[in-house]
Chains A and B, each alone.
Chain A
Amino acid sequence: MESSAKEDAQPKPRLIVRLGRLLASHHILFSALCCSAGIIALLFLPALAKNTYLSENALIPGSANPLFSTEDVAEANKFIKGIEAAAGESRDGMGMPKFIVQQMKELGAEVCYHEFLPHSKHFHPLKFFTSMTNDLAIHPNGTYTNSGTNTIGIIRAPRGDGKEAIVLVTPYNSQRVKENELLSLALGFSVFSLLSRAEWLSKDIVWLSADSQFGEYTAVSAWLSQYHNPTFVAGVTNGPDGIAEKAETTDFKRAGTMAAALIFKVGETRNYGDRDSVTMYAEASNGQMPNLDLLNVVHYLAVHRQGFRVNIERISSLVTSAWLRVIAEVIQTVGSLLRKINPDWKLDIAAPDYVEGTANLASSIYNQALGVPTGSHGAFRDYQVDAVSLEFSPTFHLRNENAKSSFLVRGGRLIEGVVRSVNNLLEKFHQSFFLYLLTAPSKFISVGVYMIPFALLVVPLPIVAAALADGGKTEGKSMNDHNMKGSADILQVDGGAWKWLQSARVLLVIQIWAVIVSLLPYYISQIADGTPIQSAVIWVVLSIIVLIILYAMLGSPYSAGVEWKLLKATMITSISIGLGLMSIINFATAQLGSLIVIPMCLFSRPVKARLGMNFLPRTVLLASNIFLAIFGFPPVILLVMKGLSKGTWTVDIGDFWVSMEFLWEWSSATYLYIFLVHLPCWLLCIHVLVHPCRQAGSKVKWE
């Protein structure tokens, strides 16, 4: 709307008058056009993806030939044997950290332990706005018996000044360590030992072997919060129980500003015989992505130097779906047609590529929209550190020694190469994109492109709102246009300007209700430790009660006789504001939400509205209204999504509670979106639907 404000005021007289009136008069046609165009553009997105490129010249990946050699592999194997022994002989789970520290000390690195406690379920959906201060810090209290122990080793760059650091993370479970975790630890250790001898280092190297017994994210985020905003509490300085270490291993060590972080782990052995593959996970909280250059470096080195196969997550059900294939065919034909028309439009994309890209894109959008990090790299992104996690999935049996050694060599060289590139970097990552969607490991859609469908979807909203508000007012005016001559009450045509205040009040009431509803789970989770179903029921009941109470206090929407057009205009304006905001916070959420909300808003009109159309279209309109209104309700959306994903159509209210709990624990802005934007909009739609069209009465009230 602000932009429209600017364009309003530009001194371009006639054109704007024409356009304005044109749009206002044909707003229905216009909005239909825009929405359909938006959806079509959305379908075209995979075809519009561009190949990634390295935009930062400083990181010249693969320019130096790697030093990681077979003796490092031998060291890794020695490490595996040692740590297996250590893990075997120690019961309390402290054996492995001690062993790792021992090894790192022998490399001449600075070492320290970091104890942390699993943080309980916090309800902080607002953490996004109260921009991360200490609320991640964990205050140790005596209640917890067992605490995780991260092991940190720091290599000081020989000639560096220690202002910056590169972080390597290998998560492992200190309680029940599995073989692939041992392998990843060994990989990390061998790279670490190589780097401890490297003379080209200009940034310090931090190797964090994260104790993932409470989940790797917990471990890494605990370490990061201790790193960035530590809490000084007495008794922190005593070392992990069971070992009497010297002071230098217990006090927390730091190494400058983090330039980048690389989380790598070796996954289970999958499809034998194929090439070893690396899966990149990049989505952090609220759909933030690391700088594209980091992904590019990893991808380049993995594919062109070490011969890995690089994947990103995909929704595999889409790959086999028939309708998607149909769409792909259509798109391909259209693209080729356009290509014939103008060879510069490279829109034609082979159908399998399209399907592939769509599957990847869908998972990318889904992960971003969920707003929940896909791994421990999310914790880094909260501190403006670009991080990516790599999951190596070997294609051999872990007992197969020479396959393992070759795998170690390649993995080590990959990590070494990435570290080298980041080490070359003088400035922090800023050249390339932060806002993008991935359709393939080497194909991306930048913000400039994927904003187009969304913009096309949102554009009708202000215009329809304007048209509706105008309509509401013209009717109000037309009443007293005839006695305009009778100058006794020229001053009385003033209701028109402020009429919308009533509908704004309705909006306000509903927003207050939404805020209360979104805050309710906090108290519910405080008091009632019941099953999800119970708490969900409590939630629903409470919210309905609150709604009734609010109406009783502040007046129900129909008491003030607000016209439904104004109500709809208000709703549409509010939803456009909400969508705009959400598109900035987390684009994917807004994109998905707009697909649901915008038709719902545009279609909604009162059932009782006497509109001069004959039966059939009216029933169609009515049906679509009710359909959309039903499917606009968040739990229904969730149910449908679950059904589509895993085909179980069991209605369970508990699921809703569980998923919402999941969202707010990760302080995802999607939670806020659902309850502060989507839910009020849906309620307003219902209001518009059941609106008793007593315009005349309301008019009387107004005169």
Chain B
Amino acid sequence: MAAAAVGFRLVLVLFGGDLHLSSRPEVSTPLTSLRRLAEGYWLKQASMSPYSGSMYHGSPLLLSVLGPLTSKRSGGHHAHIYCSLVFVAVDFIAAMLIRLTGRTLQIARGKSLKSLDLAKSVNDPVNASAGDTASLIYLWNPWTIITCVGSCTSPIENLMVVVMIYGACSRLAPLAAFGYVMATHLSLYPAILILPVTLLLGYGPDTPPAKVFLQKGSSASKVDISDIGKSTSQRGFGQISWKPVLHFMLWVFIWSCYVLVLNSIILNKAGGLQEMFEKTYGFILTVKDLSPNIGVLWYFFAEVFDFFRSFFLIVFNMNIIFMVLPLAIRLRHRPCFLAFVYTAIVGMLKSYPSAGDSALYLGLLGLFANELAEMQFTFFLFFGYIGVSLLSPVMHNLWIWRGTGNANFYFATGLAYTCLQTVLVVETVSSMIKHDRKLRLLIRT
């Protein structure tokens, strides 16, 4: 299946040139568009700052890695074919990492269930292992495919996030730190993933909540102290094993220093780090570019009065951060799931959302196929996503290319899409909580 997915991508890359995916606003945002990257590279070659001209807003590292590939034009109608090949490989790696993460999660789940001796009573509705499901979902998700084919750099950002989660799950502090630093460097928002990563490194992968083990301890009588002892020693409630966390912090520091040094070397003639931060993070935080995307902020800031702009900027940026703590408190025993929820929230509320972000969190969603088995209105969500992803290009076409519609048409799809994501996030969280409650009920009886 995975091979088939890769082959499908290759076919699209080689022959699907006239779909103009790279110019679709759903696919490529000002941050991730490869055309802009090529422009930045051209400016850099012309010994100007790549950021001059407010065209490129990505990372200098990407510039030096992908730039040479964009400059050499293949004769075919598909301009950036080499980059697309790179992206195909990147997608494949990301899928494999998701698979491994799923494996570890599966093992952890089995262990914890066994320690609660629920293993027999709780059978998996999804007979395949969660990791395979997740990786297949990630590979065959049409949005991942168009993101990969329609040349934009979000596959790499997704890969970095996945690397971070994988590293944290399998307790590889350096890897996790690398993923964290790179993801944060490429697109600011993964910075809030520091919490789940720390929890992962501290507590280990997802488990039923600590209360369950307490009840287990209380309810199950002296028969298996050893089990309780094991479980308690395995995951002492509350106390967190600090060593990997400290490792992680150290490595984060090292990697970030390294990345900054690299950037300053790349930008030494032109601009410098100061300009880089202004043009990347500043561009993300103060929504400068008003070109349409599947989010809602572009139209909002195109219409809002100027004297309220800064206020709403603060509000919307806070809106992402605000939910971080409550979620962390409520779901601290499931760091991976926490990471998924964060990515979903970011993909919904970030300033330049694209289909790539949705592809990432939908892929991660597959990791929790067992826990989320009785999620509600999946039917509605599924068809809602299909509807929106079909509606959005049509509305865009009507507005931009035929001139018979106006901007409200496209904005409406953005609104609907945000609502869908809201329902998805809320439903996943509540059903996960319900799942934990069920576990507790099981223990009690």
* A and B: bona fide binding partners: yes
- Cross-interface CB contact of A5 among B386, B416, B442, cutoff 8 Å: B416
- Cross-interface CB contact of B404 among A6, A288, A581, cutoff 8 Å: A288
A2 and B420 contacting across the interface, CB-CB below 8 Å: yes
- Residues of chain B contacted by A497 (CB below 8 angstroms): 373-376, 378
- Residues of chain B contacted by A615 (CB below 8 angstroms): none
Compute how far the CA of A492 lies from the CA of B370 in the bound complex, rounded to whole angstroms: 11
- Residues of chain B contacted by A288 (CB below 8 angstroms): 402, 404
B244 within 8 A of A: no
- Cross-interface CB contact of B20 among A9, A133, A490, cutoff 8 Å: A133
B387 and A580 contacting across the interface, CB-CB below 8 Å: yes
- Residues of chain B contacted by A584 (CB below 8 angstroms): 391, 394-395, 398, 405, 409
For chain A, which range describes its interface: under 10, 10 to 19, 20 to 34, or 35 or more residues? 35 or more
A498 and B383 contacting across the interface, CB-CB below 8 Å: no
The closest CB in chain B to the CB of A470 belongs to B379
B226 within 8 A of A: no
For window 477-506 of A, CB contacts with B under 8 Å fall at: 487-498, 500, 504
Task: Label chain A's interface by main secondary structure.
Answer: helix
- Cross-interface CB contact of A135 among B18, B386, B413, cutoff 8 Å: B18
A577 and B390 contacting across the interface, CB-CB below 8 Å: yes
- Residues of chain A contacted by B378 (CB below 8 angstroms): 497-498, 500
A2 and B121 contacting across the interface, CB-CB below 8 Å: no
A5 and B423 contacting across the interface, CB-CB below 8 Å: yes
Closest chain-B Cβ to A518's Cβ sits at a distance in Å of: 15
A5 and B18 contacting across the interface, CB-CB below 8 Å: no
For window 33-48 of B, CB contacts with A under 8 Å fall at: none
Known contacts A288-B402, A434-B404, A584-B394; decide if A2 and B383 are in contact (CB<8 Å): no
- Cross-interface CB contact of A487 among B379, B413, B442, cutoff 8 Å: B442
Contact with B along A635-674 (1 / 0, CB 8 A): 0000000000000000000000000000000000000000
B403 and A2 contacting across the interface, CB-CB below 8 Å: no
Contact with A along B100-123 (1 / 0, CB 8 A): 000000000000000000000111
- Residues of chain A contacted by B305 (CB below 8 angstroms): none
- Cross-interface CB contact of B401 among A131, A489, A490, cutoff 8 Å: A131
A2 and B382 contacting across the interface, CB-CB below 8 Å: no
B445 within 8 A of A: yes
A435 and B404 contacting across the interface, CB-CB below 8 Å: yes
B404 and A130 contacting across the interface, CB-CB below 8 Å: no
For window 335-377 of B, CB contacts with A under 8 Å fall at: 373-376
Closest chain-A Cβ to B328's Cβ sits at a distance in Å of: 24
A577 and B383 contacting across the interface, CB-CB below 8 Å: yes
Task: Label chain B's interface by main secondary structure.
Answer: helix
A5 and B373 contacting across the interface, CB-CB below 8 Å: no
Closest chain-B Cβ to A245's Cβ sits at a distance in Å of: 35
B383 and A1 contacting across the interface, CB-CB below 8 Å: yes
- Residues of chain B contacted by A129 (CB below 8 angstroms): 19, 393, 397
- Residues of chain A contacted by B405 (CB below 8 angstroms): 584
Contact with A along B406-445 (1 / 0, CB 8 A): 0001000101110110110000000000000010011001
A514 within 8 A of B: no
B20 and A131 contacting across the interface, CB-CB below 8 Å: yes
- Residues of chain A contacted by B416 (CB below 8 angstroms): 2-3, 5-6
Closest chain-A Cβ to B113's Cβ sits at a distance in Å of: 10
- Cross-interface CB contact of B379 among A435, A469, A494, A577, cutoff 8 Å: A469
Closest chain-A Cβ to B248's Cβ sits at a distance in Å of: 34
Compute how far the CA of A3 lies from the CA of B404 in the bound complex, rounded to whole angstroms: 22
- Residues of chain A contacted by B438 (CB below 8 angstroms): 490-491
- Residues of chain A contacted by B277 (CB below 8 angstroms): none
Closest chain-A Cβ to B405's Cβ sits at a distance in Å of: 8
B282 within 8 A of A: no
B379 and A500 contacting across the interface, CB-CB below 8 Å: yes
The closest CB in chain A to the CB of B381 belongs to A5
B384 within 8 A of A: yes
A128 and B397 contacting across the interface, CB-CB below 8 Å: yes
- Residues of chain B contacted by A580 (CB below 8 angstroms): 387, 391
For window 128-145 of A, CB contacts with B under 8 Å fall at: 128-133, 135
B122 and A491 contacting across the interface, CB-CB below 8 Å: yes
B125 within 8 A of A: yes
Compute how far the CA of A215 lies from the CA of B384 in the bound complex, rounded to whole angstroms: 44
Compute how far the CA of A510 lies from the CA of B100 in the bound complex, rounded to whole angstroms: 33
For chain B, which range describes its interface: under 10, 10 to 19, 20 to 34, or 35 or more residues? 35 or more
The closest CB in chain A to the CB of B403 belongs to A384
B380 within 8 A of A: yes
- Cross-interface CB contact of A504 among B382, B403, B409, cutoff 8 Å: B382
Closest chain-B Cβ to A681's Cβ sits at a distance in Å of: 14
B12 within 8 A of A: no
A574 within 8 A of B: yes
Known contacts A135-B18, A585-B394; decide if A490 and B442 are in contact (CB<8 Å): yes
- Residues of chain A contacted by B423 (CB below 8 angstroms): 5, 8-9
A573 within 8 A of B: yes
- Residues of chain B contacted by A494 (CB below 8 angstroms): 125, 373-374
Compute how far the CA of A217 lies from the CA of B412 in the bound complex, rounded to whole angstroms: 35
The closest CB in chain A to the CB of B369 belongs to A498
B388 within 8 A of A: yes
Compute how far the CA of A440 lies from the CA of B374 in the bound complex, rounded to whole angstroms: 56
- Residues of chain A contacted by B388 (CB below 8 angstroms): 2
Compute how far the CA of A498 lies from the CA of B431 in the bound complex, rounded to whole angstroms: 13
Known contacts A5-B419, A487-B442; decide if A581 and B390 are in contact (CB<8 Å): yes
Closest chain-A Cβ to B260's Cβ sits at a distance in Å of: 42
- Cross-interface CB contact of B391 among A384, A492, A574, A581, cutoff 8 Å: A581
- Residues of chain B contacted by A493 (CB below 8 angstroms): 374
Closest chain-B Cβ to A316's Cβ sits at a distance in Å of: 29
- Residues of chain A contacted by B19 (CB below 8 angstroms): 129-130
- Cross-interface CB contact of A498 among B20, B125, B400, B413, cutoff 8 Å: B125
Compute how far the CA of A574 lies from the CA of B387 in the bound complex, rounded to whole angstroms: 9
Closest chain-A Cβ to B358's Cβ sits at a distance in Å of: 15
For window 117-169 of A, CB contacts with B under 8 Å fall at: 128-133, 135
Closest chain-A Cβ to B424's Cβ sits at a distance in Å of: 11
The closest CB in chain A to the CB of B390 belongs to A581
- Residues of chain B contacted by A573 (CB below 8 angstroms): 379, 383
Closest chain-A Cβ to B204's Cβ sits at a distance in Å of: 23
Closest chain-B Cβ to A265's Cβ sits at a distance in Å of: 26
A87 within 8 A of B: no
Known contacts A9-B422, A384-B402, A493-B374; decide if A2 and B387 are in contact (CB<8 Å): yes
- Residues of chain B contacted by A574 (CB below 8 angstroms): 383
- Residues of chain A contacted by B375 (CB below 8 angstroms): 497
Compute how far the CA of A381 lies from the CA of B388 in the bound complex, rounded to whole angstroms: 27
A1 and B380 contacting across the interface, CB-CB below 8 Å: yes
A569 within 8 A of B: yes
Contact with B along A534-549 (1 / 0, CB 8 A): 0000000000000000
B125 and A132 contacting across the interface, CB-CB below 8 Å: no
For window 425-468 of A, CB contacts with B under 8 Å fall at: 434-435, 466
Among A6, A489, A491, max chain B CB count under 10 A is at A491
A132 and B401 contacting across the interface, CB-CB below 8 Å: yes
Compute how far the CA of A469 lies from the CA of B381 in the bound complex, rounded to whole angstroms: 13
The closest CB in chain B to the CB of A566 belongs to B379
- Residues of chain A contacted by B422 (CB below 8 angstroms): 9
For window 48-81 of B, CB contacts with A under 8 Å fall at: none
Compute how far the CA of A331 lies from the CA of B125 in the bound complex, rounded to whole angstroms: 58
Known contacts A130-B19, A495-B125; decide if A9 and B419 are in contact (CB<8 Å): yes
The closest CB in chain A to the CB of B439 belongs to A491
Compute how far the CA of A2 lies from the CA of B395 in the bound complex, rounded to whole angstroms: 14
For window 537-572 of A, CB contacts with B under 8 Å fall at: 569
Closest chain-B Cβ to A130's Cβ sits at a distance in Å of: 6
- Could you give 16 example pairs across A and B, Cβ below 8 Å? A2-B420, A5-B416, A5-B420, A129-B19, A130-B18, A131-B20, A131-B401, A133-B20, A496-B374, A497-B378, A498-B378, A500-B378, A574-B383, A581-B390, A581-B394, A585-B398
Give the 4 A-B CB pairs with smallest separation, nearest first.
Answer: A2-B416, A494-B373, A434-B404, A131-B401
With A129-B19, A135-B18 given, name 18 new contacts (CB 8 A): A1-B383, A2-B387, A2-B391, A5-B423, A6-B416, A6-B419, A9-B423, A131-B397, A384-B401, A489-B121, A490-B441, A492-B123, A498-B125, A500-B379, A577-B386, A577-B390, A581-B390, A585-B394
